[in-house]
């Protein structure tokens, strides 16, 4: 159903000379991803609001998503599985962050960021069958992934050192980076059925 909607919309864009014929499939994919993202974000925010941790979810999603846009990662086979895995990982990151003692939060953040950096360096970017990357795109997305990681680390570490009252949120952000970095690894591809 979503495929047909996105495809028909892409064809209409081409007929109105807004895109080239060769770009119909890319446009369809972009429309699908946009609709899925809006749907997922709406559901996740509603669940977070009901559970009382909207701010925490926003912090997690910003960290996770900014890196994912550049580094890629596995994609679940269905919207429901994608939503379920995202909700579960976000909830786990938020709950785990709430039980980490303040005395070790800074160490926790640094360990999460170091492991993330290793995975990003070794495995980014990860393309998908729907969006394969050529060699030139690989170089561009790899560079972007590393830059995003470095900037994100800087922001997380600055807040961790200067605003101790925000360590809970920097724990969540560092876990967002770590969880996204784990989705780049070959071992995860075997666990979650992907498309």
Please state the domain extents for the chain: 1-52, 61-191
Q: What is the DSSP letter of 129?
A: T
Give the pLDDT score at 59.
97
Give the pLDDT score at 37.
86
Q: What is the DSSP letter of 72?
A: B
Q: Distance between CA atoms of 41 and 57, rounded to whole angstroms?
A: 10
Q: How far is CA 106 from CA 48, 56, 127, 147, in A?
A: 25, 18, 32, 22
What are the pLDDT tens digits along the chain (195 aa)?
Answer: 788 888 888 888 888 888 888 888 888 888 888 888 899 999 999 999 999 999 999 999 999 999 998 888 887 888 888 889 999 999 999 999 999 999 999 999 999 999 999 999 999 888 777 677 888 988 999 999 999 999 999 999 999 999 888 999 999 999 999 999 999 998 876 665 555
Please give the structure tokens belonging to residue 9: 């919309």
Give the pLDDT score at 171.
97
Name the phi and psi angles at 20, rounded to 5: -85, 155
Residues 126/70, Cβ–Cβ less than 8 Å:
no
Q: Distance between CA atoms of 195 and 175, rounded to whole angstroms?
A: 25
Q: For residue 62, which of 193, 175, 189 has the smallest C-alpha distance? A: 175
Residues 67/180, Cβ–Cβ less than 8 Å:
yes
Q: What is the pTM of this model?
A: 0.85
Give the pLDDT score at 23.
84
Give the pLDDT score at 190.
64
Give the pLDDT score at 21.
85
């Amino acid at each position: 159903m979503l495929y047909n909607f996105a495809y028909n919309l892409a064809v209409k864009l081409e007929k109105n000379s807004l895109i080239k014929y060769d770009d119909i499939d890319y446009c369809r994919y972009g429309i699908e991803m946009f609709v899925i993202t809006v749907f997922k974000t709406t559901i996740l925010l509603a669940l977070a609001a009901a559970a009382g941790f909207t701010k925490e979810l926003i912090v997690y999603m910003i960290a996770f998503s900014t890196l994912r846009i550049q580094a890629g990662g596995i994609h679940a086979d269905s919207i429901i599985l994608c939503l379920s895995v995202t909700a579960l990982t976000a909830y786990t990151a938020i709950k785990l962050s709430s039980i980490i003692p303040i005395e070790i939060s800074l160490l926790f953040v640094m360990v999460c960021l170091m492991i993330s950096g290793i995975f990003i360096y070794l495995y980014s970017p990860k393309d998908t069958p729907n969006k394969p990357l050529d060699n030139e795109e690989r170089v561009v997305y790899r560079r972007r992934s590393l830059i995003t990681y470095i900037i994100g680390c800087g922001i997380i570490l600055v807040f961790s050192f200067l605003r101790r009252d925000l360590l809970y949120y920097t724990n969540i952000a560092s876990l967002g980076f770590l969880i996204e970095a784990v989705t780049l690894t070959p071992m995860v591809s075997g666990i979650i059925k992907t498309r």
